[in-house]
Amino acid sequence: MPCAIKTSPRFRKCIAGKEADALAAMQKVQEGFGRPHVHAGFSIRKIAPDVFECRTDLKTRLVFIAQKGILTFDFAGNHRDVQNYLRGR
């Protein structure tokens, strides 16, 4: 059974204008999360304990927090933006 997906207000602000790309990536993550061999194909990567990222394109990364049964998308940005996000957690 796929995980539920939630989005934070910060995430929705980050993806303004790119909703279609983000939604497509979120659906792929929802389908493949928890199946490690599928992770590679969807560019899912662990970046901190319980924090993962996936890519919508070469520049944009979606950051999500994995909890039991729920994936909460919390941030989106480029590599540098994601590094700053992680430092601020």
Q: Tell me how far apart the terminal alpha carbons of the chain are, to the nearest angstrom.
A: 30
Look at phi and psi of residue 50 and say left if phi exceeds 0, alpha if psi is from -120 to 50, else beta.
Answer: left
Written out in words, the top-level CATH class of the domain with range 4-88 is: alpha beta
Q: What is the DSSP letter of 37?
A: H
What are residue 87's phi and psi, to 5 degrees?
-65, -30
Over residues 18-75, the pLDDT tens digits come to 999 999 999 999 988 877 665 556 688 999 999 999 999 889 999 999 999 999 999 9
Q: What is the pTM of this model?
A: 0.90
4-7 and 70-77 as β-strands: parallel, antiparallel, unpaired?
parallel
Domain ranges of the chain: 4-88
